[in-house]
Amino acid sequence: MNTRLDRLRKAMQNAELDAVLLSSLTSIRYLSNFTSDECFVLVTKNRNLLITDFRYTIQAGEQSGDRFEIIEAAGSKQLETVRDALSKEQVERLGFEEDCVSYAQYGSLSDLGPKLIPFAKELHSLRVLKTPDEIASLQKAQALADRSFTELLTVIHSGMTEKRVAAELEYIGAKLGSEGPSFDTIVGSGPNGAMCHAVPGERKLQKGDLVVLDFGCIFNGYHSDMTRTFAVGEVDTFSKEIYDIVKTAQRKALDALRPGITGKQLDAIARDYIREQGYGECFGHSLGHGFGLLIHEAPRASANCDTVLEPGMTITVEPGIYIEGKLGVRIEDCCAVTEDGKQNFCTSTKELQYID
């Protein structure tokens, strides 16, 4: 944890900042291990302050250890406490998270005195390379997701609504130890599968459907992300052909995932194959994204990303084909880039699974 603070101070120095004010739960948790957003964290050149109200002071002390000074202040008085600390530390240039404050909040921050300097990009960059402890948490989150998927296939059946499938999956995940779903679970059956981010509805699973299931679990605050497409009863030859194209596209991209490849190059491997099969226009989203304390983090695997992948980065690999009015297929694994290739956290089979 001290290493994280050291790297933050290095980034502050490079940006010629006197202090940084953290207000997002993600940044606060990453730097202090505190899991409530009812607070501000102020890091100056010499001090680490965690300002929260009476309800959370014990929790803050236990989670942040001796790295932070815990200052009790009611919510309405917290910015006043920040102002006093800024004055005492003679802060003139203050970094802030410009991507997570409202217009009204920005006005309040502007009244603190120092010049406000956008610093969100630099904060995000601190989290790009995952530590061994973070990798371990991501592995455990994905292990919960794999186990949840395996159990789900034993309890769902045709005639069950998409909503029920999502509810069953989230219940299983919680029962196994997930802290919650990584994001709103996606269930798209039959023609609904053509909607990349289908919201589970009242449509019932029917014989002959392909079902796109995109979900994740959380462990120690870290998010997993996987997609599997399964069949309800026997499906037609066309559905199987589309499934095999997506599976091959994903395998090609996974085989190429290694240090030194760019996000653009990785995306192109899957995209070019799908295009060669005649379905280029049916793959309209990027190949993947980073994941960690947030479900979407840097880097990206997309046609516009020149980022060179490095050991410690995480990336999903999730090609898909979506044909309006007919079906959708997506297969997704979440991986970490290693010194000599990749570590795929997902263990669930990519062979097409069938339920009754």
Give me the chain's average pLDDT, please.
96
Average pLDDT over residues 99-108: 92
Residues 233 and 157: their CA atoms lie apart, in Å, by: 9
Whether the per-residue pLDDT at 348 is higher than 70: the answer is yes
Is pLDDT of 1 > 90?
no
Task: Give the tens place of pLDDT for each residue, 309-337.
Answer: 999 999 999 999 999 999 999 999 999 99
| CA–centroid distance for 252 within its chain | 23
At residue 75, the pLDDT reads: 87
CA distance linking residue 56 with residue 78, whole number of Å: 13
Q: pLDDT at position 64, please?
A: 94
User: Residue ranges per domain, the chain?
Assistant: 2-126, 132-355
Largest CA distance in the chain: 72
**Does 292 score more than 80 pLDDT?**
yes
pLDDT tens for 193-219 read 999 999 999 999 999 999 999 999 999
Q: Give mean pLDDT, residues 53-71.
A: 95
Q: What is the tens place of the pLDDT at every residue in 261-287?
A: 999 999 999 999 999 999 999 999 999
Q: Which residues lie closer than 8 Å to 283 by C-beta, 6 or more apart?
A: 270, 271, 274, 275, 319, 320, 321, 322
pTM of the model: 0.94
Strand duo 327-330 + 320-323: pairing: antiparallel
pLDDT greater than 80 at residue 2: no
Q: What are phi and psi of 176, to 5 degrees?
A: -80, -15
Of residues 279, 265, 276, 246, the one with CA closest to residue 351: 246
Whole-angstrom Cα distance, residue 312 to residue 132?
Answer: 8
User: Domain 132-355 carries which CATH code?
Assistant: 3.90.230.10
| Structural tokens at position 331 | 């297969």
Q: Report the CATH fold assignment for 2-126.
A: Creatine Amidinohydrolase; Chain A, domain 1 (3.40.350)
For residue 17, give every residue at least 6 positions away whose Cβ sits within 8 Å of its Cβ, in sequence order, or none: 93, 94, 95, 117, 119
Rounded Cα distance, 165 and 160, in Å: 7
Of the candidates 61, 65, 52, 62, the one whose C-alpha atom is nearest the C-alpha of residue 23 is 52
